[in-house]
Amino acid sequence: MLILGIETSCDETAVAIVEDGKRILSNVVASQVEIHSRYGGVVPEVASRQHLLQIIPTLEQALLEANATWEKIDAIAVTYGPGLVGALMVGVNIAKAIAFAMEIPLYGINHLEGHIYSAWLDDSDPAQSPGFPLICLIASGGHTDLLLMEDHGSYSLLGMTKDDAAGESFDKAARVLGLGYPGGPAIQKVSELLDKADFTESLPRAWMRGSFDFSFSGLKTALLNKARDYGVSYDSPENDAPDQEIITQLASAFQESVVDVLTKKSLDALSETRAKGIILGGGVTANARLREQLRESAVGIPLFIPPPRLCVDNGAMIAAAAYFNSLRRPADVLSLDVIPSLRLG
């Protein structure tokens, strides 16, 4: 079964063709990072207009790379939430048009569920080994959620961010330190310059004991205050020639704080629910330090960490999720609409 997946929830125009929910035939992503970097973050209206410009060329490239024609496509899958309303509308409307014109099934997919199914695209099948239930950590620019996946399509929300998402916090921290956008890769790159033996700075961790919820706003404020104390924040008078060593220390301290909380919460959730393994998804889970610490801390625990190209938004994850959706539910009707605040679990 060949499914064409479309993902336009934020600032990536992504189209992929996946066979039987696991084999990627093509996975094309048209990034808008360069456009939005000048603003320090995603501008929704700009993102929507770029999707309109890029969606047709991206569709054509995905078909070309998969050596496929429209007649070979068995179903269309598209993200219908959560995300930016204008961006979602571009993907949903073109998916409905294709489904109508080609007379093939349409599947609206939850963006968060798509991130979970990235694990099935990495030469593995978590449902078979180790089997359900599984802990799912979804950490991205707009979401930081811990879920218990008890079966295909069955989720329980264990915890979520009460303020900033982890990815959003990385972006804001990078802005404070003048490291550019997107913040996650920028902070990781700077942190790699620092030898652990030289690590002297520390920042708070919001454990929110008694729950699996997250909070990163206090950490962001603590970073801003320290950056101002050292004269290296974007609004400090002394910032004309900032001390790069201090910036490196603070960036590393910020990254360590986020990584520690994400790691411990995930392992605590696994222990309490007696789940059999952990799935990671979302752009933040491409962070090398997070992947390293989880592997070090979860010895003997099955971990499913997709390669970085599948952690960020992509069409393959949407197509994979649609395949497993097709095994348990009917296709969606053409009146499918976007739900910007869609939840999972």
Q: pLDDT by residue for the chain (345 residues), tens digit each?
A: 999 999 999 999 999 999 999 999 999 999 998 899 888 889 999 999 999 999 999 999 999 999 999 999 999 999 999 999 999 999 999 999 999 999 999 999 999 999 999 999 978 999 999 999 999 999 999 999 999 999 999 999 999 999 999 999 999 999 999 999 999 999 999 999 887 656 677 899 999 999 999 999 999 999 999 999 999 998 777 666 778 999 999 999 999 999 999 999 999 999 999 999 999 999 999 999 999 999 999 999 999 999 999 999 999 999 999 999 999 999 999 999 999 999 998
* Helices 85-102 and 44-65, axial angle in degrees (round to 10): 30
Contact 114, 7 (CB under 8 A): yes
pLDDT number for residue 137: 98
Whether the Cβ atoms of residue 181 and residue 174 lie closer than 8 Å to each other? yes
Phi-psi region of 341 (alpha: psi -120 to 50; beta: other; left: phi over 0): alpha
Domain residue limits, the chain: 2-119+308-326, 129-304
Tokens of residue 98, six digits: 């294709």
Phi and psi at 104, nearest 5°, equal: -125, 160
Residue given tokens 């030289």 in the structure block: 198
Are 2-119+308-326 and 129-304 in the same CATH fold?
A: yes
Interatomic CA distance for residues 47 and 30, integer angstroms:
11
Task: Say if residue 133 is preceded by a cis peptide, omega within 30 of 0.
Answer: yes
Name the residue with tokens 């890029």. 54
Classify 16 in phi/psi space as left (phi over 0), alpha (psi -120 to 50) or beta.
beta
Q: How many CA atoms lie within 13 A of 245 on its CB side?
A: 4
Task: Enumerate residues 6+ apart whose C-beta is below 8 A from 59.
Answer: 4, 6, 15, 94
| CA dist., res. 108 & res. 80, Å (int) | 6
69: number of Cβ within 10 Å: 8
88 vs 39: CA distance, rounded Å: 21
State the helix-helix crossing angle for 217-230 and 166-176, rounded to 10 degrees: 10
Alpha-carbon torsion 332, 78, 122, 61, what sign? positive
**In the prediction, which pLDDT does 10 show?**
96
What is the torsion angle, in degrees rounded to the nearest 10, for the CA atoms of residue 314, residue 316, residue 317 and residue 322? 130
Other Cβ atoms within 10 Å of 128 Cβ, number: 8
CATH superfamily of 129-304: ATPase, nucleotide binding domain (3.30.420.40)
Distances (CA, A) of 107 to 52, 63, 87, 110, 174: 21, 19, 18, 10, 37
* Measured CA distances, 250 to 80, 193, 194, 203, 228 (Å): 38, 12, 11, 8, 11
Tokens of 87: 């961006």
pTM (2 decimals)? 0.95
- Going by DSSP bridges, is the β-strand pair 278-281/134-139 parallel, antiparallel, or unpaired? parallel
- Architecture of the domain made up of 2-119+308-326: 2-Layer Sandwich (3.30)
pLDDT value for 40:
84
Collapse the DSSP code of 67 into the 3-class scheme (helix H, G, I; strand E, B; otherwise coil) and give the result: coil
CA–CA gap between residue 87 and residue 5 (Å, rounded): 15
Q: Are 80 and 108 in contact (CB under 8 A)?
A: yes
Q: How far apart are the first and last CA of the chain?
A: 27
